[in-house]
Amino acid sequence: MTAFDPTHDSIRAVQWRGDHLCLLDQRLLPGEERWIECRNAAQVTTAIRDLAVRGAPAIGIAAAWGVAMAAQQGVTLEPVLADLRAARPTAVNLMWALDRMKRRIVAGADGDALLREAQAIQDEDLAANRKMGELGAALIAPGSGVLTHCNTGSLATAGYGTALGVIRAGVAAGRIARVYAGETRPWQQGARLTMWELVRDGIPAQLIADSAAAHLMKSGAVQWVIVGADRIAANGDTANKIGTYQLAIAAKYHGVKFMVVAPSSTVDMATGTGEEIEIELRDAAELLSTAGSRTVVEGAQAWNPVFDVAPAELIDAIVTERGVIERPNSLAMQAMFG
């Protein structure tokens, strides 16, 4: 294993190649690094819906490139925007990116201008992640242990990551001594993706079963739970990968601090509370099989919500590129994002 190199940030899962979009197929990691070539917007919609590309910021970025590609190809854009918007319901970054592209279209932007807008969205996300890494790491006392959930790294963003970006920055600054990652059933973003990123970076980390999280917190090994977000409501309630809510409850019980890290493109001030956030339900087959092989008896049913909501009262800090909100509430959110 290589020593940790804080400059090692080479993963770029979404790559524009001049006339098409290349996506690192995250369904196949870590076993295989295969790229998908999207040569039209419909292929981008499919890639988002099927989680070939996933992660709130990354799907917004991919969708923006899909719109720009359609404009370059002279395709009618309204149905393209609608199809991309419907690909997944919870991560507001998707709608945020599409609304931003729509504003440029309405203002008369041509294909080249839309390519520049998509590039700007991608570049701004990377810069935001670097800023959030600094701001989040500064909250962590030296010698701390941290637990993260799902994948919030370079694979889920333009690069570097949100919560995983804070972990990268905290390790580089010598503040984080122990890193734990939850496997994140059923899609295994933690086991398959976060561990892949951490091993590539040379950051020592231990994978834990999702069900071991409270026991780990009880041991005193972690001082922070650090997660990403898919949609942050106007009162600070935060939708994130399923399992986040119970991590927040366990953290509160054990006196472990809880940090949400997300760019401002994840904040949805038009949604008042977490109760109003649509939670994506995915095919039960994702729960009844593992790595493509059925693990549950035929005929069994399953309920597969892939997000849940951590209420603001359980969150100690929301870190965005605009700054940190400690003990988030409606007034604090309004002050920063109103």
SS3 state of residue 155: helix
Structure tokens belonging to residue 19: 């006339």
Cα dist from 16 to 50, 121, 197, whole Å: 20, 12, 21
Residue number with the shortest CB distance to ligand LNRAV4D5? 228
Which of residues 100, 241, 252, 257 is near ligand LNRAV4D5 by CB under 6 A? 241
Give min distance, CB of 118 to ligand LNRAV4D5, in A: 18
**Is 133 marked as a binding-site residue?**
no
The Cα angle at residue 131 between residues 129 and 134, in degrees rounded to 5: 110
Cα dist from 92 to 55, 88, 124, 249, 277, whole Å: 11, 9, 16, 24, 10
Torsion angles phi and psi, residue 78, rounded to 5: -55, -50
Q: For residues 65 and 310, give the distance between their C-alpha atoms in angstroms, rounded to a whole number.
A: 31
8 A C-beta contact, residue 263 and residue 229: no
Structure tokens belonging to residue 9: 């940030």
54 near ligand LNRAV4D5, rule: CB under 6 A: yes
Which of residues 169, 306, 318, 333 is near ligand LNRAV4D5 by CB under 6 A? 306
Q: Of 8-16, 54-62, 130-138, 211-219, which segment contacts ligand LNRAV4D5 by CB under 6 A?
A: 54-62
265 near ligand LNRAV4D5, rule: CB under 6 A: no
**Is 54 marked as a binding-site residue?**
yes
56 near ligand LNRAV4D5, rule: CB under 6 A: yes
Which of residues 43, 157, 265, 271 is near ligand LNRAV4D5 by CB under 6 A? 157
Which of residues 145, 170, 190, 228 is near ligand LNRAV4D5 by CB under 6 A? 228
Kindly give the pairing relationship between strand 21-24 and strand 14-16: antiparallel
Active-site choice (25, 125, 201, 230)? 230
Outline where 266-329 has alpha helix (H): 285-288
SS3 state of residue 261: strand
177-216 binders of ligand LNRAV4D5 (CB under 6 A): 189
**Is 246 marked as a binding-site residue?**
no
Q: Is 9 a catalytic residue?
A: no
Torsion angles phi and psi, residue 297, rounded to 5: -55, 140
Q: Which residues are catalytic?
A: 230
Annotated binding-site members for substrate:
54-56, 88, 189, 240-241
Residues at the contact surface with ligand LNRAV4D5, assessed by CB under 6 A: 54-57, 150, 152, 156-157, 162, 189, 227-230, 240-241, 306
